[in-house]
């Protein structure tokens, strides 16, 4: 624990990131796809000399500007705040490993933001050729920002063998490119690009739905139909991209999927399979709606239809991201750092030296007392006039440091609910399993090992017991 712990009651810190991230992902992918859409749409309208169409594109670019620059940038910064608070150790690791990546990312952000502002404010003010060029500068730099962030995001799922072999030695920068172009990089890039293009088509419906169908029926029909075509690449290629992605996953993740699929017949749905089944159905419904409403009845598209479709897309993105999060457990950076910020290779050290010994967030006095207790032989402790009681404060620090990344005391994934009805001995047996972390322990699939000395583990048990059974010390 090198950083203070951010305690978020009820929903837990993970959901703070989750909620912000899902909104940001929707907007940022639209920002990439929408840029490509604007560039192609303007080209087409100018080539066919369609003034009415150009006017609509200009309106669409205003909606685009507000949504991406204001909401997109704000949620992007909010992600930084929330990850830095809830996973400071992982955020720091990502910053240190990808200095070049971040620097390039922010360069593209600046180009992107400047280009879209120039694009919007120079409609009818510069030559058609120049205006289109600015549109392309935006589209390319926006896609490049995806190209870069995709490397960092996929790294977190699986950093790849090369990088893992030097992790912790200080030689990580020599494996920058291997870490960046990790095994799931390309399938994920393809998948995300398809999502971007789909969202561009969906968001265009918001603008198109507001065209008056009585006054301009032809225009509305043409724009809705042309925009609906943007859903086609995803329809054809997402299954291919998904399969490719699956094949590149680490074996442990594949096994998790297989377990889920092979147990469907028995009615056992793991969270992953449930999500996968939802995704397949939701995508089919999305394309069905797109076909029936957008393709067959383009003139009757209303704003409410457009918003409903976007809501569906939003839920698909939410579930996909949740799946990625579930797959990554118990790690925040695959095979390197657990979700609670503990590096895999530090586990042994914490078991022998003590977990809290290495934190600056408690007094030296407490540390000294705990150290004396932990290193006392049983003979020495037997000779004490009063036996040592594990201390609740120490237990609470253990809980905050190692469990609160995924659990809350009384809200989401509530530890009180999960342990309800257990007495101290029964809590001990579960906690011992987490601490021993045997090869065949079912907990290994989603929980990191509990690390620390015997005294620390006892203190955690005592704290949990006091929480569940309301025992005061």
Q: Is residue 61 a contact point for ligand HEC (CB under 6 A)?
A: no
Q: Is residue 452 a contact point for ligand HEC (CB under 6 A)?
A: no
**Residue 360 Cβ, how far from ligand HEC at the closest point, in Å?**
20
105, two tokens: 């990312």
**Residue 127 Cβ, how far from ligand HEC at the closest point, in Å?**
56
Residues 388-407 that bind ligand HEC (CB under 6 A): 402-403, 405-407
**Residue 436 Cβ, how far from ligand HEC at the closest point, in Å?**
13
Nearer to ligand HEC, 107 or 466 (CB): 466
The interface region with ligand HEC, picked from 31-39, 112-120, 228-236, 440-448 by CB under 6 A, is: 440-448
Nearer to ligand HEC, 227 or 340 (CB): 340
How many CA atoms lie within 13 Å of 172's alpha carbon, on the beta-carbon side?
A: 19
CA 176, distance to chain mean position in Å, is 22
Candidates 91, 339, 373, 453; binder of ligand HEC (CB under 6 A) is: 339
Query: CA nearest 313: which of 271, 283, 274, 276?
Result: 283
Q: Is residue 10 a contact point for ligand HEC (CB under 6 A)?
A: no
Which x/- pattern, by CB under 6 A, does the window 30-59 give for ligand HEC? ------------------------------
CB neighbour class for 212 (10 Å; exposed up to 12, middle 13-18, buried from 19): exposed
422, two tokens: 């257990």
Contact (CB, 8 A) for 171 and 124: no
Q: Is residue 446 a contact point for ligand HEC (CB under 6 A)?
A: yes
Nearer to ligand HEC, 324 or 413 (CB): 413
Residues 408-437 that bind ligand HEC (CB under 6 A): 413, 415, 418-419, 430, 434
Spatial separation of the C-alpha atoms in residues 424 and 469, rounded to whole Å: 9
**Residue 434 Cβ, how far from ligand HEC at the closest point, in Å?**
6
Q: Is residue 13 a contact point for ligand HEC (CB under 6 A)?
A: no
Q: Is residue 450 a contact point for ligand HEC (CB under 6 A)?
A: yes
**Residue 370 Cβ, how far from ligand HEC at the closest point, in Å?**
17
**Residue 328 Cβ, how far from ligand HEC at the closest point, in Å?**
9
Spatial separation of the C-alpha atoms in residues 60 and 402, rounded to whole Å: 47
Spatial separation of the C-alpha atoms in residues 138 and 61, rounded to whole Å: 12
Nearer to ligand HEC, 61 or 339 (CB): 339
The interface region with ligand HEC, picked from 95-103, 218-226, 388-396, 444-452 by CB under 6 A, is: 444-452
Spatial separation of the C-alpha atoms in residues 66 and 174, rounded to whole Å: 41
**Residue 270 Cβ, how far from ligand HEC at the closest point, in Å?**
10
Candidates 187, 330, 354, 390; binder of ligand HEC (CB under 6 A) is: 330
Nearer to ligand HEC, 59 or 328 (CB): 328
**Which residues contact residue 353 at a Cβ distance below 8 angstroms, ignoring those fewer than 6 apart?**
453
Residues 272-301 that bind ligand HEC (CB under 6 A): none
Nearer to ligand HEC, 63 or 437 (CB): 437
Nearer to ligand HEC, 204 or 461 (CB): 461
- Burial code of 251-288, b = ≥16 C-beta within 10 A, e = fewer? eebeebbeebeeeeeeeeebebbebbebbeebbeebbe
Contact (CB, 8 A) for 199 and 238: no
Candidates 329, 343, 349, 371; binder of ligand HEC (CB under 6 A) is: 329
Spatial separation of the C-alpha atoms in residues 27 and 31, rounded to whole Å: 6
Spatial separation of the C-alpha atoms in residues 345 and 353, rounded to whole Å: 14
Binding-site residue total for ligand HEC (CB under 6 A)? Answer: 19
**Which residues contact residue 167 at a Cβ distance below 8 angstroms, ignoring those fewer than 6 apart?**
159, 336, 345
Residues in the chain: 473
Which own/partner pairs from 75-79 qualify as long-range (CB within 8 Å, at least 24 positions apart)? 75/20, 75/21, 75/23, 75/24, 75/27, 76/24, 76/28, 78/20, 78/24, 79/17, 79/20, 79/21, 79/24
Q: Is residue 340 a contact point for ligand HEC (CB under 6 A)?
A: yes
Nearer to ligand HEC, 360 or 418 (CB): 418
The interface region with ligand HEC, picked from 136-144, 149-157, 166-174, 446-454 by CB under 6 A, is: 446-454
Nearer to ligand HEC, 25 or 403 (CB): 403
Contact (CB, 8 A) for 354 and 374: yes
Tokens 């990580």, residue?
172
Q: Could you list the residues that contact ligand HEC (CB under 6 A)?
A: 329-330, 339-340, 402-403, 405-407, 413, 415, 418-419, 430, 434, 446-448, 450
């Amino acid at each position: 624990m090198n950083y203070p712990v951010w305690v978020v009651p009820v929903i837990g810190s993970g959901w703070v990131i989750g909620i912000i991230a899902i909104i940001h992902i929707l907007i940022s992918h639209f920002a990439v796809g929408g840029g490509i859409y604007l560039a192609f749409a303007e080209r087409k309208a100018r080539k066919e000399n369609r003034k009415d169409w150009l006017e609509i594109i200009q309106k669409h670019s205003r909606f685009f500007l507000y949504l991406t620059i204001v909401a997109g940038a704000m949620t992007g910064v909010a992600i930084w705040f929330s990850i830095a608070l809830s996973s400071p150790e992982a955020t720091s690791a990502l910053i240190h490993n990808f200095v070049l990546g971040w620097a390039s990312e922010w360069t593209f952000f600046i180009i992107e933001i400047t280009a879209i502002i120039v694009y919007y404010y120079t409609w009818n003010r510069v030559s058609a050729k120049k205006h289109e060029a600015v549109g392309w500068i935006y589209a390319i730099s926006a896609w490049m920002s995806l190209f870069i962030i995709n490397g960092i995001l996929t790294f977190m799922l699986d950093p790849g063998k090369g990088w893992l072999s030097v992790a912790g030695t200080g030689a990580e920068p020599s494996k920058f490119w291997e870490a960046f172009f990790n095994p799931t990089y390309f399938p994920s890039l393809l998948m995300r690009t398809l999502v971007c293009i789909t969202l561009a088509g969906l968001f265009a419906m918001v603008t198109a739905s507001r065209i008056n169908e009585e006054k301009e029926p032809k225009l509305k029909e043409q724009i809705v139909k042309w925009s609906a075509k943007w859903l086609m690449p995803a329809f054809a290629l997402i299954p291919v991209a998904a399969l490719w992605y699956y094949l590149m996953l680490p074996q442990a993740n594949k096994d998790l999927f297989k377990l889920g699929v092979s147990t469907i017949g028995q009615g056992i749905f793991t969270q992953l399979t449930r999500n996968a089944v939802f995704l397949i159905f939701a995508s089919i419904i999305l394309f069905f709606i797109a076909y029936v409403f957008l393709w067959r009845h383009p003139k009757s598209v209303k704003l409410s239809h457009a918003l409903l479709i976007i809501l569906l897309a939003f839920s698909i993105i939410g579930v996909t991201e949740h799946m990625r999060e579930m797959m990554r457990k118990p790690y925040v950076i695959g095979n390197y750092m657990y979700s609670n910020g503990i590096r895999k290779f530090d586990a042994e050290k914490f078991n022998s030296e003590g977990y809290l010994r290495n934190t600056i967030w408690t007094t030296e006095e407490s540390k000294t007392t705990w150290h004396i207790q932990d290193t006392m032989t049983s003979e020495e402790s037997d000779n004490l006039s009063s036996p040592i009681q594990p201390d609740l404060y120490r237990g609470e620090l253990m809980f905050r440091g190692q469990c609160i990344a995924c659990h809350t005391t009384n809200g989401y994934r509530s530890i009180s609910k999960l342990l309800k009805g257990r007495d101290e001995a029964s809590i001990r047996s579960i906690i011992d399993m987490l601490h021993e972390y045997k090869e065949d322990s079912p907990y290994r699939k989603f929980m990191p090992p509990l690390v620390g000395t015997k005294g620390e583990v006892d203190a955690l048990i005592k704290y949990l017991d006091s929480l569940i059974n309301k025992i005061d010390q």
